[in-house]
Structure 1
């Protein structure tokens, strides 16, 4: 008797055995009994072995698929990821498929259902339906047209079906072969020598695996390089996957691709319906999609003939999954490209230090773009010392004067403030009470327009109280400022100027971001206020001034990656100014004008900053010169989690080598979230393989521990947020 080893979507590091009494293959979904319910699982292996008595095993109830759900390359990728990230197999496999497939929907293209006559319907005397005139008329229509679509009520069709006079026939949807009509629209953009060199170098790879870092300053024409390279890939009949970090980047990217290629271009992101996501998944798998543009999870989409992967803004932290299975889409994309033996391009104006280090080691090939495309010049950058200045919602008088100057020339301005809401604090002026989220022990953010207090950590909301719950005072005042307050102040200062606020609060509705971007592209005097959504890759040709309102908090952080993130966001935001023929200017407001990081960035640029920071990381043996794993644990009583991590610490101390370094157990940077007390244990080793072996042995040991059910815990390999 055959045994199917099945992965189920549960947080358990093991497979479940069932009798295989129905023909099936590895990679197919099956319906199985699990406890007192039925569950959908995926067959991972088939053999004649089980730890249990085979006769006692429950049989598989049904096989859902006729062929394996995953392509060979996706199957290899997921199995590699399961081992590397040490996450339960069932949860990884189910994460990699559309939700409708997780629920048991068949993995087939949309079908067309048509009503048609049965043999009895052709022969029966119409007079037998004389008491049902609508049924008689419908059957008569069928006889006249054989297959017909009319405006009859559905109940009439069902009555004829019940009488076996008509039946529904399912007609498979015809697959579209876009290659027959593929063409490339002419391009008038003249490429510079660096762009031509990058295109030639990647094309010379001859469709084989290689990792290329397209390190191009903001506005250097990276997208144009992508399009030229993809022209050759698509012309050969192969497909392409383009990953972008945020949904906000997809509209403009799609537009550029649609203008260049006469071929089906699909999009995959969280704003689509589940049915739309499944249809894109199926079109890609069957080869109907030429280019798929999507966010992080699009990486797991199957392709019939994938020819290239592009990771735009490869440095962006959005590529790292921060809940559940904490994979990094950029790193897994490189593994996928290697499995498929295809080239992969990493593009960025501010490459991550890990990526830059890999170019220094010769693992990746560096392709620099140091010139801005066309006639665009680099923006003038300056620091504005805030010490002693009066501020209005974070705006200094010199910056306000600059805004007026640029608006008078009918130009556009971006004001960057990475803090949404009206104010980060609501306080009682009389007794000092602060409105805090009891689930996170963090201050609520005051949102004036919604008249709500919102916790930006767990998303809970409450109505703004009429009076202080501690002393009864009605004198509650907001402290500090966010994008909402900045927008309100600008409306007072510039009443006749268009102002758009672009942050998570304003672009959450479908189509909102597109509407904002269209409005901005129309040109004319306009002030854009926003968070880092504004910084990521957008092209605003009329923006001539970028004002960075407040970043001082990022200059002083306990996280060793904070300076890298600040340098990236500053460089990206600065790059929005002066992108075409207009001269740009960047002003950074700060209380710390002499900070060494600011001076390196402004005088020598991101590349010099990265070089110096890599040297510091090497001296201190921090990533990428060592490898980290963060083990997190949380509980409600603040007792089990630290004890659980202490047990891990003690076990590792006995079972690892001297090169492994442990920090903790200690409270997380945000010690409480959504009612859970959070603790962490950081592991660091200079040898990645040895660190992986320690984790393998640890998970085996932990399976026998009684503490496991008492805590929420997770393993984060290569964490980017400590």
Structure 2
């Protein structure tokens, strides 16, 4: 850091991490012009902010007295050219503040103005006593064995151990024994991996014909191209990634792998580390600020060969990036739903274009946007139609719930099938995308339902903590003893959640272990990885889960998967609901029969005759998706049109309706575009605020961009907007 105090005084446009898209002019004394993108600390009102130099300002006399830059934090900008271009492009495409986009692309410590330098972290290491221990003598202490094996070659960070399911209790036990110790040290770096004769630790698996064609096609790409790797669940997409990465790493180039959720990074990391003798790192929100900065620096300076990360990792700078992989490209987690509302898949496509390198999009259930690009030959389309390793395709069965006896969401017919599988020593996965004990508390006398006082939603019953919780705003209260309307004490739980399902399965199958995996049961750090490992090891015959279990996990002993209740998606107001149901069903079904055991999927429904269900079960996701794509084209819905959603919210309904109406009145009459609304959001009131929307529908991206650029200055000038919190969502994925 240096004080801005020498040289001639220059005037700069600075982008600040604020919602407003405008830049602010500041004076700075410097001998040489400041490069674009360097960080500067500047006064703003009563506080100081870290901003980013955009350009030198014109010499026109300012209309007010300009403030001076307090300090210049960098001599050169932190990003390489491709990331700075990507930040600028993202700001334009999403019509979002450049300063906020720049800040979101950096680790937290750099946003705050810290120096881009390696920091010490907490590491666990073996003591001499620990090195003397025989792992085989620790029978019955699998986690302790795992720690000693993991620390055999090098000290590891706490997050590294958490990622493989190691808990604090296990570490305390080993510390008490004197076998491991805690050290504060800077991370060690492998600076020579690019010069190794080989980056392989072990050879890859033999490929089937489809896999071999996919690997060959990817490796033939000498410049930018986007490839859709569409493969049925269990078809060996990861093996294709690994073998396609090998020549890239052999050339000394890096690979960026995006995964949708933190829960998928450990298993991906493990497979990559087993295959490659090159540094593999992770980037996700579960890491400390120091860990994220050090890992970011490893990627930037080329010390990391493979970078695996969630959504925000798409902005990670690399010394020499040669390939980008976006796994489960259809997943909604890639779209940021607040603040800077970007889609990591789309930004990855742009980044690959800027670097002129190939990009692989992998999925068993490709999004309709990606599928349309493949059908129209803008993307290469690689198909894996058979399961790898001799695994069989799963069988599908419908259970009509009409007039069926049901207990906690489980029909008698399904209960009998579960009994058969667990007696054979197999595992059963029951999917219910509704956590808690029950979705509502109801009075048996008058029908009153406990409703959140801040949202248009009912409280969810969480019996384990004796609480009612709102899953939309987070408010909670103790379960009441009396009805809020008639005073009756006869209150009952209405509907079924995962907590109740877990409880009922223990009654149905006494003595059989039940493992529930949802957001409530995995709140503690490391607990999700621990539970996933237990599920993989067949420690529990019965698995209960929400959508967390639908995403790419490999459970080799699961032979029966049951989806208990998905009927709500059949009649949703969201035009994407059918696509999401198709993806969800196919992904959940893919957890069955992953290896040499036959698999079966059971779908419980009150509407077995529904066209969507019949198409999915009889023809599979690909046929269903192509049919849905034709329907989208006929209805002029994405990907055959381009949307933008204006959201407004306020504590007063009239204010937000009036504000959105004023925005609607600004819309010019233009051929090929129209603005729908104002209309209430699918949930009108949330967290005490009324929410209304305007939907801009355009025939081209160019027209959408031009219209929004025309509208934004006028919208920002509306006096009523000061009373309303509003936002703009480009390519919206969620209308709730």
Does TM-score exceed 0.5, indicating one fold?
yes
Distance change >3 Å, CA 173–CA 188, structure 1 → 2: closer
Q: CA deviation at 1:466?
A: 2.5
Q: In the TM superposition, what are the counterparts of 1:344-359 in structure 2 within 5 Å?
A: 344-359=359-374
Deviations 1:613-667 (A, max 9, x none): 1111111111111111111000111122111111121111xx2413212211010
Structure 2: distance between partners of 1:563 and 1:3: 54
Asked if 1 retains the 8 angstrom alpha-carbon contact of 2:202 and 2:276, the reply is no
Q: CA deviation at 1:187?
A: 2.7
Q: CA deviation at 1:176?
A: 2.7
Matched, 1:193 2:222: no
Structure 2: distance between partners of 1:232 and 1:649: 53
**Which residue number in structure 2 is paired with residue 716 of structure 1?**
729
Equivalent in 103, 106, 125 of residue 115 of structure 2: 106
Equivalent in 262, 272, 282 of residue 267 of structure 1: 282
Structure 1: distance between partners of 2:261 and 2:13: 37
Matched, 1:5 2:20: no
**Which residue number in structure 1 is paired with residue 701 of structure 2?**
688
Query: 3-state SS of the aligned residue for 2:351?
Result: helix
Q: In the TM superposition, what are the counterparts of 1:455-474 in structure 2 within 5 Å?
A: 455-474=470-489
Distance change >3 Å, CA 470–CA 100, structure 1 → 2: same
Matched, 1:40 2:42: no
Q: CA deviation at 1:691?
A: 1.3
Structure 2: distance between partners of 1:172 and 1:186: 26
**Which residue number in structure 2 is paired with residue 121 of structure 1?**
none
Q: CA deviation at 1:111?
A: 6.8
Asked if 2 retains the 8 angstrom alpha-carbon contact of 1:65 and 1:107, the reply is no
Structure 1: distance between partners of 2:630 and 2:200: 45
Q: In the TM superposition, what are the counterparts of 1:416-565 in structure 2 within 5 Å?
A: 416-523=431-538, 526-565=541-580
Structure 2: distance between partners of 1:76 and 1:362: 27
Distance change >3 Å, CA 285–CA 295, structure 1 → 2: same
Q: Across the two proteins, how many residue pairs are aligned to each other? A: 661
Q: In the TM superposition, what are the counterparts of 1:172-191 in structure 2 within 5 Å?
A: 176-181=191-196, 183-187=199-203, 189-191=205-207
**Which residue number in structure 1 is paired with residue 160 of structure 2?**
none
Structure 1 unaligned regions, length at least 5: 113-169
Query: 3-state SS of the aligned residue for 2:514?
Result: strand
| TM-score w.r.t. length of structure 1 | 0.89
Structure 2: distance between partners of 1:442 and 1:97: 36
Equivalent in 629, 642, 645 of residue 630 of structure 1: 645
Query: 3-state SS of the aligned residue for 2:29?
Result: coil
Structure 2 unaligned regions, length at least 5: 1-8, 122-184
Q: CA deviation at 1:708?
A: 2.3
Structure 1: distance between partners of 2:21 and 2:118: 33
Asked if 1 retains the 8 angstrom alpha-carbon contact of 2:118 and 2:186, the reply is no
Query: 3-state SS of the aligned residue for 2:695?
Result: strand
Structure 1: distance between partners of 2:337 and 2:705: 20
Distance change >3 Å, CA 647–CA 51, structure 1 → 2: farther
Asked if 2 retains the 8 angstrom alpha-carbon contact of 1:17 and 1:57, the reply is yes
Distance change >3 Å, CA 381–CA 324, structure 1 → 2: same
**Which residue number in structure 2 is paired with residue 14 of structure 1?**
22
Query: 3-state SS of the aligned residue for 1:331?
Result: helix
Matched, 1:29 2:39: yes
Q: CA deviation at 1:172?
A: 12
Distance change >3 Å, CA 491–CA 347, structure 1 → 2: same
Equivalent in 218, 231, 234 of residue 246 of structure 2: 231
Q: In the TM superposition, what are the counterparts of 1:602-681 in structure 2 within 5 Å?
A: 602-652=617-667, 655-681=668-694
**Which residue number in structure 1 is paired with residue 308 of structure 2?**
293
Q: CA deviation at 1:108?
A: 1.5
| Larger gyration radius, structure 1 or structure 2 | 1
Equivalent in 574, 596, 610 of residue 611 of structure 2: 596
Structure 2: distance between partners of 1:173 and 1:105: 21
**Which residue number in structure 1 is paired with residue 165 of structure 2?**
none
Equivalent in 408, 412, 421 of residue 423 of structure 2: 408
Query: 3-state SS of the aligned residue for 1:488?
Result: helix
Asked if 2 retains the 8 angstrom alpha-carbon contact of 1:524 and 1:542, the reply is no
| TM-score w.r.t. length of structure 2 | 0.88
Distance change >3 Å, CA 428–CA 111, structure 1 → 2: closer
Equivalent in 62, 77, 83 of residue 74 of structure 1: 83
**Which residue number in structure 1 is paired with residue 294 of structure 2?**
279
Deviations 1:28-78 (A, max 9, x none): 111111112222111111244356158x31111101123212221111111
Q: CA deviation at 1:558?
A: 1.0
**Which residue number in structure 1 is paired with residue 273 of structure 2?**
258
Structure 2: distance between partners of 1:518 and 1:225: 24
Asked if 1 retains the 8 angstrom alpha-carbon contact of 2:395 and 2:599, the reply is yes
Structure 2: distance between partners of 1:662 and 1:38: 39
Structure 1: distance between partners of 2:60 and 2:682: 44
Q: CA deviation at 1:554?
A: 1.0
